[in-house]
Structure formats: C-alpha cells, structure tokens
Amino acid sequence: MTTTEATGAAADPASNSTADEAEATADDALRWLLGTAREDGDGGLAWTATPSDDELDPTLYSGTAGVVPVLLEARRHFGDDRYGDAALRAARSLAAALDGLEDDSLYGGLAGLAVVLRAVHDELGDRAAATAADRALERVRTRFDGTRWGDWFDLIGGNAGIALGALAAGEADLAVRALEPYLRTAEQTPAGVQWEAETGREARYHHVSHGTLGIAFALARVGRAAGRDDLVELARAGVADVVARDEAGPTGFLVPHSDPQSHPDRVERFSYGWCHGPTGDAQVFRLLRDVLDDPAWQALADRCWHTVTHSGLPRRPRPGFWDNNGRCCGTAGVLALACDRMAEQGDPPDFARLLVTDLVSRATRDAAGARWSNVEHRATPSTLEPHTGWAMGNAGIARELLRFARISRGADPTYAFAWPDQPAVKSPSPGGR
C-alpha cells in the first residue's frame, strides 16, 4: 500500500489494529461501490442512489458526483490508478448529465458537479472535465434571478452552497453575487440575524445544512477570500443568533433543530450530526477561528465536541436517536470532525476509534464487498437499502475510514479533494495541545 507523504507525526501504536480494520473495510466498500456502477453507453460510469434504483443520480449529495471524491481519495491513498480511471469515466458521465439537470445547487445540482469536475481536472489533468465545469457554472450564472435560484436559500440547496461551489471552482465573482442577497434579506433577531431557508416555510433552521450556520459559513469563507468585510460581519451576526440559542452551556453546545420545530412528528428537537447538530456547528467555529484569526472560536468548537462525545452516540439507545452511519447525518460525519481534531488539536484517538469500530461492526460484508444500511424506525421493514453516495452511503463512509487510517499512522491528514464546507486542518499538531 502507498499513502501520501507523512506529516512527521508518530503513529499511535494503539490505533494500528483499528486503522487496519478501517482500511480493509474501506477497500471492501470501494469494491462494492465499483460493482454497483452503471455504464452510461458512452464509456462513462454513473451511479444510482441505491442499487435497485433505475434512474441515474449525478448529484453530489447522493449520486455520481459524490462518488468521485472517494475515488480520488482511494487513488491517492492506495496508489492505484484504477480508481483514477474510474473517476475519469465518472467525470465523463457527469459532463453528459449537465444539460438535463435543472437544479443549480451545490448538493443537488450543477454547482456540485462543477466542483467535482474541476477537482478531476486538478487531480488528474483532464481538460474535458475543466471545460465541463466551466459550462456548468456558466449555466448557474445565467439562471440567477438576482436573489436566488429557486425556493431554497440555504447551503444544501440554495445560494450559500452555490457560493461555496463557485469559490471552490475558481469563480469568486459568482460566489460574491450569490451571497449579496443575504445582506438585504436578513431577519433581525434579539441576538443577531436569521434567514428563511425555503420560500414560505415558517420554521427557521439554525444549523449547517439548511440553516443560519451554513449561510454564515459561506459568508465568512467567501467574504474573507473576496475582501468583503460586510459579508464577514453578517456571518458574525448570524452566528451570534445561533450561539444565543445554546441550551447546553457553559461546557457544551446544543441548539434546537429549528424554531418553531419543523416536522415535530418525525424530527427530534436535538440532533448531533453534521447536518443539524454540534458536529456541523463545530466546523463553522473552526472556520471562524481561521478566517477571523481568533482562537476564541476554538472554545465553541470544543464545547460542541464535549456535547457530541457525551451524547451517547454511536450507541443507539432508542429508535430515532442515532440510526445513521453516513457522512451527512450519521457516524461518518462525526468521524470527519474527530479526525480534524486529531490532526489539529492533538486529540487522543479513543473516540475516533470508537466510531470506526462501530462502522466496521455495522457493515454488511460478503463477496460483493462492504456496505451499510441505515434505519428508519417508522417504516416496515426498518432496515433501509444500502446507499452508494456521499450523504448516506459508501462514498461518504469509505472516504472517512481511509483518512482515519492515514492519521492513525502519522500520515497526511488532508483529503485528495477538499470539501467546500469542511475547513482544511489549520496546522497538524501531532505533539498535542
């Protein structure tokens, strides 16, 4: 096996066994993923959200665009060009899908495809991918109505995500244009500002995926890159609103899913993952620490981590508490933050090992490879079909397992593909705090 250049950190001997399990499971997960690929008829590779689906899914959230990053990760991690070849073929199918995609967003549309196509060019030198990325962003640019791109106004489906995608793809001017409407649409609150996440929706979301913190993340990152202090200050105001809603201080950090509570019949008031909980909140505080050059923000990230590690996850004490293995809403997303902290803060690997052990134990493994089934306790049967993509399936999980293996061995903590809404580690601190 070949890994990327070591950082100089000494590998933790206690993590070696878990790292080996993580790597082997990721290897099996990649085998299953490649086995579920579909030929698109023109030499490309594409994926559906689940193997039983008939319709190809090109998106970053659940489809082909979300598979490409783990292929790039595997190529660099294992030094195996077959993953690069698969990524090139996947890029070909993404380019072919552009004209039929009406969604412009980061996670469900053209902005996400543009980011991934640009990454394929940067990593593998594929000029056709770069040309397709430019074409995708030009379509996004022309479909902007001056305020938004449809009903959603958040990171997953709206302006904030499109801005992050545009910035990642080298289009800073489009990123700024996407964010300027937040200046005039912000709703004042007693502590700061918030926004309507979707046209006509009464609930105000607070976290990364659909809420205030996701918008603040984009405002801070793009604002600093473009020299727009007004956007950075608006990010501060959004974060101030969310911080004022904390119900776990002073040692923890826990903010409700939304107010008024969205779908109280099927969504718990508090979540703990990336999408609606302190795992994702901590990523915003990490960014603000770096953007504002202020270590005080790290204290809030630490409080988020205290809440996550004392919540009881990845145990599943009751239906609906923690039923997901994936990157968006489950264990793999928490593992991403655990690895960030190991690389940046010199955190001990104990909790990360717990997460990896849980993921390994929950994998279904056979001759086809490894995959994971999430649980929907309100459905019968409650065990769901395995997903392929980034958010809920193999692509998102395998990527984090490979990174854990590297960090545990003292190797490079960075990813082959930098995700638009996860800050890069500031500076690895293998010697601890």
Contact present, 305 and 281 (Cβ < 8 Å): no
Give one DSSP letter per residue of 274-332, joined into a string.
TTTSHHHHHHHHHHHHHHTT-THHHHHHHHHHHHHHTS-TTS--STTTS---STTTSHH
Pick from 354, 220, 385, 210: nearest CA to 287? 220
Contact present, 90 and 64 (Cβ < 8 Å): yes
Quick one: how far is CA 145 from the chain centroid?
Answer: 27
Using a 10 angstrom Cβ sphere, with 0-12 exposed, 13-18 middle and 19 or more buried, the burial of residue 88 is: buried
Helical ranges in 98-142 per DSSP H = 110-124, 127-142
Distance spanning both ends of the chain, measured CA to CA? 31
Contact present, 36 and 30 (Cβ < 8 Å): no
**Residue 267: predicted pLDDT:** 85
The total number of residues written for the chain in this structure: 433
**Residue 273: predicted pLDDT:** 98
Tokens 């039923």: give the residue: 323
**Residue 16: predicted pLDDT:** 84
List average pLDDT for each run of 10 residues in the chain, which is 433 residues long.
Answer: 40 75 98 96 94 98 98 98 98 97 98 98 98 98 97 98 97 98 98 98 98 98 98 98 96 97 87 98 98 95 98 94 97 98 96 98 98 93 96 98 97 96 77 42
**pTM, rounded to two decimals:** 0.95
**Amino acid (one-letter) located at 423:** P
